Amino acid sequence: MVAVIADRAISGLGTSEEEWLPWLAAHPGTPVDADALVPVGHRAVVVAPHPDDEVLAVGGLLAQLARLPRAMLLVAVTDGTASHPGSTVWPAERLASERPRESRSAWDSLALPTGREFEARRLGFQDGRLQSLRAELASALTHLLRPTDVVFTTWRQDGHPDHEATGEACATATAGCGARLIEVPVWAWHWAEPGDERLPWQRASRLALDAASLRMKRVAVDAFTSQLAADPSTGAGPILRSTTVQRAHRPFEIFFS
């Protein structure tokens, strides 16, 4: 669902990759690799406000971590049922079953591990309402986290109210238990401009995606079919528009740590 926060409004096609890529080439940030981001003996936890954010934010990282002996916990805060308001094609009940299914299909494309090393949780919070549920979300996350976790989530200033609330709740929960927090811009790439002073570039690190992990991430993004098609019942365009998909196709991921 497109939402507005003050000066970080998500509307239109947003800033294109033609604009971002030259600037990001000149300002690459600190290089990191998956092995250093999530060291041996630590668990990678990804907290996604909506099913698809885990792939848009860190799909390439997950594909790389899947090759390493690392435990993973994927947390879906909501089931993403507010993405198509007023739609008869995508009523909330259909989204509640379809969007988590899309995520599972995407995880298969990323070759995520199965068995004891992999855990997924759906918290069932109400999509679109997370700003008012931050304390409850922080409490729920606190019960799931361990001090040695490395937690990836959406940046606290990402522009989407649910993304910002999830970032804030993760900050509270990780500060409480001692886990490491790494924030990831998702919608910020849409409303921000190259060199935008509202983004904390001094905290930026960059994970290069090798050909295999990039290919897997691109296939994983295609799993979110509910978000990729126009809705004839409301006349709304895709939630993930062409520019958003292009940003998810970059051969790198940027984190704020």
Q: Which residues bind Zn ion (CB under 5 A)?
A: 49-50, 53
- Whichever of 20 and 224 has its CB closer to Zn ion, that residue is 224
Which residue, judged by CB position, is nearest to Zn ion in the bound state?
50
- Whichever of 54 and 231 has its CB closer to Zn ion, that residue is 54
Burial class (CB in 10 A: 0-12, 13-18, 19+), 132: exposed
Residue 84 CA: distances (Å) to CA of 5, 101, 139, 231 = 19, 17, 29, 8
Distance in Å, CB of 77 to Zn ion, minimum? 9
Question: What's the token pair of residue 63?
Answer: 């594909």
Distance in Å, CB of 231 to Zn ion, minimum? 17
- Whichever of 148 and 246 has its CB closer to Zn ion, that residue is 246
Distance in Å, CB of 12 to Zn ion, minimum? 17
Distance in Å, CB of 22 to Zn ion, minimum? 27
What pairs with residue 253 in β-bridges?
Answer: 207
- Whichever of 71 and 77 has its CB closer to Zn ion, that residue is 77
- Whichever of 53 and 231 has its CB closer to Zn ion, that residue is 53
CA atoms within 13 A on the CB side of 142: 14
Distance in Å, CB of 229 to Zn ion, minimum? 17
List of E strands, 195-251: 204-208
Distance in Å, CB of 135 to Zn ion, minimum? 20
Buried b (16+ CB within 10 A) or exposed e, 213-246: bbebbbbbbbbbebbbeebeeeebebbbbebbbb
- Whichever of 55 and 71 has its CB closer to Zn ion, that residue is 55
Buried b (16+ CB within 10 A) or exposed e, 11-47: eeebbeeeebbeebeeeebeebebeebbeeebbbbbb
